[in-house]
Structure 1
Amino acid sequence: MAEGVQYFLDSFKDPAAVARYSEGPRRFVPGLDGLHRMTGLLLAERVPADAHILVLGAGGGSEMKAMADAYPGWRFTGVDPAGPMLDLAAEVMGADAGRADMVEGYIDDAPAGPFDGATCLLTLHFLQRDERVRTAAGIRARLKPGAPFVAAHGSFPQGADERDRWLDRYAAFAVASGGDPEQVAKGREAVATHVAMLSPEEDEAVLRAAGFTGVEAFYTAFTWRGWVGYA
C-alpha cells in the first residue's frame, strides 16, 4: 500500500477522527451539497428507477444519504477500506441503511455487479496515477455497458509555483468556512506531503485510460474537480 494511502487510512480508523469527520468535507469542499445533488442527477439520466449503484470510498455516507433521499428506488453497495467509516455511513443513512450493503476493502473486494452506475467522490486523489487507472478500470469492469460513473476529487495545476498557490487557496477556503487555522494548516501539510495530486488534464486522462468514454467535466470548485464518463 502506498505510504500516502496508509497515512490517511490510519486517520479514518481513528475513533476521534471518525467522530468529527463530517465537519471536514463541508469546510474544505465548496458546494458539497450541490456536488451530491449533481451526482444523483447525472446518474439518473441513465439508470433505472430501481438502480443498483456502486459507491467506492463510501465511508461517511453523505453521498449515499443524499442519493437515498432523492431516489427512493435506488440501492447501494458501499465500499471503503476503513470499517469505522462504513459504520458512520450506516449511522448517517439512518432508516435507509437497509438499502446499502457495506463492503470493507478496495475495488478488488467489490462485487462483480454488473451495476447500473457508480460514484467515487473525494477518494481517487489518495492514489498514485497507475493505481487510479487500475481502480477506475475496476469500477468500469463492474458496470453495465454505457452505465454512468461520476468521480470528483482534489485536482488542480501542479506546476512548481502553481501547486503551492492552490494549496494555500485550499487552506484559505477551509479557514473562511470556519476551520481552526492550526488544524487547517496541519491538513494542508498532510495533503502537500502525502497526496499525489494530478492536474485536471491528467485526471481526465486517467478516466479515459481506464476505458471510460464521453468523459465530461461538470464540477469545478477551487481545488476540486468532477467528471462523468460512461462504461
Structure 2
Amino acid sequence: MADAAQEPFLKNFSDPDAVARYEDGPRRFVPGLEALHRMTGLLLAERMPADARVLVLGAGGGQELRAMADAHPGWTFVGVDPAAEMLRLAGRVLGPHRERVELVEGYIDDAPAGPFDGATCLLTLHFLDAAERERTVRAIHDRLRPGAPFVAAHASFPQAAAERDVWLDRYANYPIAMGADPDQVNGARAAVAASLHSFDPETDEAIIRAGGFADVRLFFTAFTWRGWIAHA
C-alpha cells in the first residue's frame, strides 16, 4: 500500500516524460547495477528448477526481468508494480521475452498466491516504512515454496545523523561522476533525504527475518545500496 511519503516518487514514475528517461537513471545511481542483476539470477538459480516461476515485485522498467529472462530461457515471471507507465516501459524493454511475463499493476496484495519458485524485490522496499515493509516481505514469503530463494536490494546505509549525511553525499556524488546533471542529482538527494524510508543494514536484515525468511545473507554492497539473499 502507498503512503504519503511515496507520493513524489509514484508521481515521477507515472510521468511519461520521466519514465522515458528512466532506463539510464538506475545505472547512474546504483553502482554495479548490471552485476546486481546478474548475481540475482545466479543466486535464484541455486535453488530453482530450469522451468521456475518467479515473482518480481517492483518490476516497472523491466531491467531485472530482461536480465533474468536473457540468462534463463526456461523461467517465467509475474512482475508487479503500482505504476502503469513503468509497466508499459517494462513491456517494451522485455522485447521478445514479453510472452513469458505476466505484468500486474498494483502492490504485493495484487500478486497471484503462487506458489512461486523464487522472488525478487530490487530498488523497491525503501519506499515502504518499517511496518509496511515487514508486511510486504511476509506476503512475498507466503507466496513462495518452502526453501525458495528471495533476493532483496535497496537503499540501506548508516542512519546516525553525521554518518547519514556523508552517505547521502556519496549517493549523489556517484551519479555526478557518471555524468548526471548535478542540479537533478541534488534534487534527488533532497527527495531521498526527506521522503525515502531508509534504515541501517542491520535493521533491514532484521525486517527480512521478521517477514519469515531464514539464512539471510548480505551479498551486495555499493555505497548506499545493499542486497540480501534469503530463503523461505
TM (normalized to structure 1)?
0.99
Secondary structure of the structure 2 residue equivalent to 1:171:
helix
Q: Which residue number in structure 2 is paired with residue 142 of structure 1?
A: 143
2:160 alignment partner AA? G
Matches within 5 A, 1:15-164: 15-164=16-165
- State the distance in 2 between where 1:98 and 1:84 align: 19
**Cα drift, residue 4 of structure 1:** 1.6
**Cα drift, residue 23 of structure 1:** 1.4
Q: Where does structure 2 lack aligned partners over 5 or more consecutive residues?
A: none
- State the distance in 2 between where 1:81 and 1:6 align: 12
- State the distance in 2 between where 1:6 and 1:149 align: 27
- State the distance in 1 between where 2:195 and 2:25 align: 17
Percent of paired sites with the same residue? 65
Q: Which residue number in structure 2 is paired with residue 219 of structure 1?
A: 220
2:12 aligned with 1:11: yes
1:210 alignment partner AA? G
Q: Residue by residue, what CA displacement relative to the aligned partner does 1:150-209 show, whole Å, maximum 9, x if unpaired?
A: 000000000010111100000000100111001000000010111010000000000000
Q: Which residue number in structure 2 is paired with residue 180 of structure 1?
A: 181
- State the distance in 1 between where 2:37 and 2:19 align: 20
- State the distance in 1 between where 2:8 and 2:136 align: 19
**Cα drift, residue 85 of structure 1:** 0.4
Q: Residue by residue, what CA displacement relative to the aligned partner does 1:93-129 show, whole Å, maximum 9, x if unpaired?
A: 0010010000000000000000000000000001001
**Cα drift, residue 7 of structure 1:** 1.7
- State the distance in 1 between where 2:171 and 2:53 align: 34
2:81 alignment partner AA? D
Secondary structure of the structure 1 residue equivalent to 2:145:
coil
**Cα drift, residue 5 of structure 1:** 1.4
- State the distance in 1 between where 2:206 and 2:175 align: 28
**Cα drift, residue 6 of structure 1:** 1.7
2:24 alignment partner AA? E
Q: Residue by residue, what CA displacement relative to the aligned partner does 1:12-34 show, whole Å, maximum 9, x if unpaired?
A: 00001100001110000000000
**Cα drift, residue 2 of structure 1:** 1.4
- State the distance in 1 between where 2:118 and 2:218 align: 17
1:158 alignment partner AA? Q
Number of equivalences: 231
**Cα drift, residue 51 of structure 1:** 0.3
Secondary structure of the structure 1 residue equivalent to 2:47:
coil
2:145 alignment partner AA? K
Q: Where does structure 1 lack aligned partners over 5 or more consecutive residues?
A: none
TM (normalized to structure 2)?
0.99
- State the distance in 2 between where 1:177 and 1:125 align: 23
